[in-house]
Amino acid sequence: NAGVTQTPKFQVLKTGQSMTLQCAQDMNHNSMYWYRQDPGMGLRLIYYSASEGTTDKGEVPNGYNVSRLNKREFSLRLESAAPSQTSVYFCASSDQHTLTYNEQFFGPGTRLTVL
Amino acid sequence: GDSVTQMEGPVTLSEEAFLTINCTYTATGYPSLFWYVQYPGEGLQLLLKATKADDKGSNKGFEATYRKETTSFHLEKGSVQVSDSAVYFCALRDNYGQNFVFGPGTRLSVLP
């Protein structure tokens, strides 16, 4: 099991460029999440998907869109990147229905710099 | 809404010192509680968890007890090592929904 994988690991964009961050999990989890991590801010939820076919906004959704492509994959798109979106982005997944094993599993992160 | 408060860092200790990182929460119902650890340049890893009151989670010498009466889940380790240097996050999951709520993280540095 690879767990949660993210691509790319690093990315540098210019202001106004677009890109998509990819995330995939092989644990058959229903729920997937996108967070950003900024120094001193902890983790902030951008979007989440409770199940295939559904997505919902989190705490900081502005400037982002998401797609739950299938049960395994959940992508995050920046349509027009801004310097304020420089951050480390983490994807996570969890199984909603198994109360015993209900923690989130995290990917290794994507470090994005917007110039 | 639900929230998690944990002690601000950084915390600097000498090797073999005793560690406590305080965590308190506010939530409706009976949340599950977690401690995650993040080593430099990596994602978050689950360190331990507790799913009901009075449960004790433990892993790698770390322990935390779910105290409903004080709404706390303090992380402890009797003797820290240099390899424990990392950022530690307290978190909860609302068992009524999808919400995971993370604390701001506490950076621990252990000096040899």
Residue with tokens 């964009």: A13
- Which amino acid is located at A56 in the chain? D
Confidence of residue B97 (pLDDT cuts 50, 70, 90): low
Record the tokens describing residue B72, joined without a space.
């706390």
Determine the 3-state secondary structure of B84 from DSSP: helix
Determine the 3-state secondary structure of A83 from DSSP: helix
**How close is the nearest chain A Cα to the Cα of B92, in Å?**
9
Instruction: Give the residue from chain A lying closest to B43, CA to CA.
Output: A108
Residue of B100, B102, B106, B107 to mutate, testing the A interface (most A Cβ within 10 Å of its Cβ): B100
Task: Check A42 against B105: CB less than 8 A apart.
Answer: yes
- Scan residues 36-75 of B and list those with Cβ closer than 8 Å to A: 36, 42-46, 49, 51
User: How far is the C-alpha of A95 from the C-alpha of A19, rounded, in Å?
Assistant: 28
Give me the pLDDT at residue A79, please.
93
Task: Check A50 against B98: CB less than 8 A apart.
Answer: yes
**How close is the nearest chain B Cα to the Cα of A66, in Å?**
17
**Do residues B95 and B30 lie in contact, with contact meaning Cβ atoms separated by under 8 Å?**
yes
Stretch A76-97: mean pLDDT: 92
Residue A100, pLDDT > 60, answer no
**Cβ neighbours of A33 in B, within 8 Å:** 100
Residue A97, pLDDT > 80, answer no
**How close is the nearest chain B Cα to the Cα of A72, in Å?**
18
Residue B44, pLDDT > 80, answer yes
Residue of A41, A88, A102 to mutate, testing the B interface (most B Cβ within 10 Å of its Cβ): A102
Task: Check B100 against A100: CB less than 8 A apart.
Answer: no
Give me the pLDDT at residue A98, please.
53
| Number of inter-chain CB pairs under 8 A, A vs B | 49
**Do residues A63 and A73 lie in contact, with contact meaning Cβ atoms separated by under 8 Å?**
no
Give me the pLDDT at residue A101, please.
46
